[in-house]
Amino acid sequence: MIKTIIVEDDAMHARSLAETLETHFKSIRLLAICHDIQEAMIQISALEPQLVFLDVELGAYSGFDLLAMLKKRDFEVIFTTAYQKYALQAIKMSALDYIEKPVDIKQLRSAISRYHVKTSEKKIQNLLVNFNADGNEQKVALQERGSFHFVRLSDILRLQSDSAYTIVYYKDSTLVHKMLLSRNLAYFEDMFEGKGVFYRVHNQHLVNIHYIKSMVQGKSCFIIMDDDNKSIVPVARARRDDFLHYLRNNGILI
């Protein structure tokens, strides 16, 4: 049995989630429902849950505030949220799970199926560190063969679509590595939106503009990346003008 606590300030949503868990998930043992951050701190410390369903917005506080206040975080977290761009970006960057309200049982089942005992601490720590870091110094959790690599956004050179997968190219010291991830390129484009340095120049390519070495224009347009291989990335004709405008606005082109 997975010892579980729900932290949700909306009584209706809390009750709905509790009833769904108790009816459809016999592996879940619901210990408590907490409606505010103070109650949650007391109950989590006293009951030592293995899994916490945590609302992003808790009155004047957030679920992130609660995690920062807790001295001990040896439990898994599944966030619950109405659609909130900034929150979903942060959660995705740290490879933490979430479900959107109102709760969809298929999404809930999928999140619970990924439950593992005591694997969230590094991801939670990354989430909290990101809130105090500048955009380019934030880290994204990249999963490869069951392990997580926490990579600064400023170290990611480019991302390339490979059907339903994405190849991420990033540097570690002076070396460039690549990692194949089971997410499509649109997932990362959405996650990095507003971070200020990534631009989708082509259906298959998302680049960090700080690693552009040069740009060649003619019948076709392409950029040369500042990496060991001087990688060539095509710029789609339909995206060229908007891309040039973006580069000028960011001081890359004068």
Longest dimension (CA), the chain: 67
13 and 73 in a single domain? The answer is yes
**Which among 70, 95, 130 is the end of a domain?**
130
Rounded-to-integer distance, Cα 22 and Cα 104, Å: 15
Number of domains in the chain: 2
Please tell me whether residue 230 adopts helix, strand or coil conformation: coil
37 and 91 in a single domain? The answer is yes
List Cβ neighbours of 46 (8 Å cut-off, separation of 6 or more).
none
89 and 163 in a single domain? The answer is no
Highest mean pLDDT among 27-41, 87-101, 142-156 belongs to 27-41
**Which among 115, 130, 145 is the end of a domain?**
130
**Which among 130, 145, 174 is the end of a domain?**
130
**pLDDT of amino acid 249:** 83
Contact 158/233 with Cβ under 8 angstroms?
Answer: yes
CA distances from 38 to 45, 60, 66, 79, 205 (A): 11, 12, 9, 18, 46
Helix, strand, coil proportions of the chain in percent (round to 5)? 35, 35, 30
Contact 6/14 with Cβ under 8 angstroms?
Answer: yes
**pLDDT of amino acid 43:** 97
DSSP 154: G
19 and 122 in a single domain? The answer is yes
92 and 160 in a single domain? The answer is no
pTM: 0.84
**pLDDT of amino acid 117:** 60
Among the listed residues 143, 178, 136, 186, the one whose alpha carbon sits nearest the alpha carbon of residue 161: 186
**CATH number of domain containing 244:** 2.40.50.1020
Task: Indicate if the pLDDT at residue 85 is higher than 70.
Answer: yes
Please give the residue range of the domain that contains residue 171.
155-249
